[in-house]
Amino acid sequence: MQSGPRRRFRLRYLLLLAVAAGAFVFLGRHAWREWRWRYIVIHHTASDAGNLEYYRRLHKEERGWPDIAYHFVVNNGASNTVPGQIEESNLWKERSRGYSTRNTYVNTVGIAVVMVGNLERHAPTTLQYQSLVSLLVTLAREYDIPPERIIGHRELQQTKCPGQHLDMAKLREDVARELAR
Ligand SMILES: [Zn+2]
């Protein structure tokens, strides 16, 4: 026969275990959401117009996605933005996966950054480019992502994105130089 106090002790023990397991799952999930980032994928919008709100509306209405496909938008001065101004999407605020490539794994562990502009036709302005480099340096430091994991969309899939005027090798070098300072 089990005595009363011992059974009560077991119940308390089980309750404690359940609370600990819950906390572990909660914190683990939070840690995963915050620390899962392994790549940064660079895109261009292939159009010189628009800002975050413009592309959010476009992606929601035309593609049926819940939000813009990207985590960060680096503006070019269109739609009342300041050239180089960075906008953070709700995807990033919620640490949700993006929709920027056809690869779900990359969308899940990759931070998607888009340059507004058609960089297949022309280079980004110095201000916009410098702003991109400083954003990448910040993200690379924060999430411990080495420059070789900063990749252009075209290095992953059959596309011209982010355009021939965005030299990915030079971009990685510029980020690496800043990181080494
Ligand atoms: Zn792209």
Query: What pLDDT digit, counting tens, does each position of 77-113 carry?
Result: 999 999 999 999 999 999 999 999 999 999 999 999 9
My answer on whether 105 and 159 are in the same domain is: yes
CA of 9 to the centre of ligand 1 (A): 58
- Asked whether residue 116 carries a pLDDT value surpassing 70, the answer given is yes
Whether residues 126 and 156 share a domain: the answer is yes
CA of 79 to the centre of ligand 1 (A): 21
Looking at the DSSP assignment, which residues form a beta bridge with residue 39? 110
**58 shares its domain with 18:** no
My answer on whether 84 and 168 are in the same domain is: yes
Domains in the chain: how many in total?
2
Q: 59 with 101, same domain?
A: yes
Write out the two tokens for 57. Answer: 């509306």
Query: 43 C-alpha to center of ligand 1: Å?
Result: 4
* Residue 72 token pair: 């960060």
Using an 8 Å Cβ cutoff, are 83 and 77 in contact? yes
| 14 lies in the same domain as 64 | no
Judged against a pLDDT cut of 70, whether residue 26 lies above it is answered with yes
Which whole number is the average pLDDT over 11-26? 90
Both 27 and 68 in one domain: the answer is no
- The mean pLDDT of the chain is 94
Phi, psi angle pair for 53, to nearest 5°: -60, -40
Same-domain status, 101 and 120: yes
Same domain, 28 and 54: no
Are the CB atoms for 37 and 110 separated by under 8 Å? yes
**What angle do helix axes 168-180 and 126-143 make, rounded to 10 degrees?**
60
Ligand 1 center to residue 82 CA distance, Å? Answer: 22
29 and 47, same domain (yes or no): no
Query: How much is the pLDDT for 1?
Result: 53
Domain containing residue 30: 1-35
In whole angstroms, how far apart are CA 118 and each of 28, 43, 162, 174? 40, 10, 8, 21
Model's pTM, two decimal places? 0.88
CATH number at residue 84: 3.40.80.10
Please check whether residues 26 and 40 belong to one and the same domain: no
Both ends of the chain: CA-CA distance in Å?
71
Same structural domain, 74 and 163? yes
DSSP3 helix / strand / coil % (the chain, rounded to 5): 50, 10, 40
Q: How far is the CA of 80 from the centre of ligand 1 (A)?
A: 23
Sequence-distant (≥ 6) Cβ neighbours of residue 27 within 8 angstroms: none
Both tokens of 159, joined, read 């596309």
Q: Distance from the CA of 28 to the center of ligand 1, in angstroms? A: 31
